[in-house]
Structures are given as structure tokens and as C-alpha cells.
Amino acid sequence: MDKIRVGIMGFGEVGRHIYRLCLDDDRIEIVAIADLGRPEILEYLLKAETKGDIDVKLEGNFLVSSNGKARMIERKSMEPGDVL
């Protein structure tokens, strides 16, 4: 069965929570994360508010985890179609 490919628009508290939930589900793959913030800051926030360890690292413009690579898209303003 193919994985469900998901893009997250907004990586605030709710977006980060959804990301963490998807890491534990083999059926879901996060492929893109779009936010106004810088990827380095978003990675820091994800790690800082996660209880316990989270195996995630930023490599260029990709957030890499055991679940795969998610492209980090930083835009000052965007429409949902800009992620594609």
C-alpha cells in the first residue's frame, strides 16, 4: 500500500504536533512543510517542545527523520498552490 503524502501549511504549535503524530504512523509521509519562519528556528522549536528525544535534523532545506525527508518552504506570503 502506498503511503499518504502530506504537506503541512504552518508549523506552529498545531503543525508541529501533527508532524510528531505522523512520525509514529508508517502509513503517512510528510513531504513538505511551509511556514513564514526560518527552518533553523522551526527545527529548534520542534526539538525544544518535544518530550524526550526526537530523531530529526535539518539538512539544507529538508527536515530529515526516520519517516523520510520533508522539504521546508519559507515564504513571507503564500497560497496553498505554492507548495506544489
- pLDDT-based confidence at residue 39 (cuts at 50, 70, 90): very high
**What mean pLDDT comes out for the span 51-79?**
88
Q: How crowded is residue 59: how many other Cβ atoms within 10 Å of its Cβ? A: 9
* Domain map (residue ranges) of the chain: 4-78
Q: Which of 46, 76, 75, 48 is nearest to 58 (CA)?
A: 46
Q: In this model, does residue 84 exceed pLDDT 60? A: no
What is the residue whose three cell numbers read 513538505? 32
16/23 Cα distance (integer angstroms): 11
Q: What is the CATH number of domain 4-78?
A: 3.40.50.720
Per-residue pLDDT, 77: 65
**What mean pLDDT comes out for the span 48-63?**
92
Sheet of 28-35, strand order? 4-9, 28-35, 68-74, 62-65, 56-59
Mean pLDDT, the chain, integer: 90
84/80 Cα distance (integer angstroms): 8
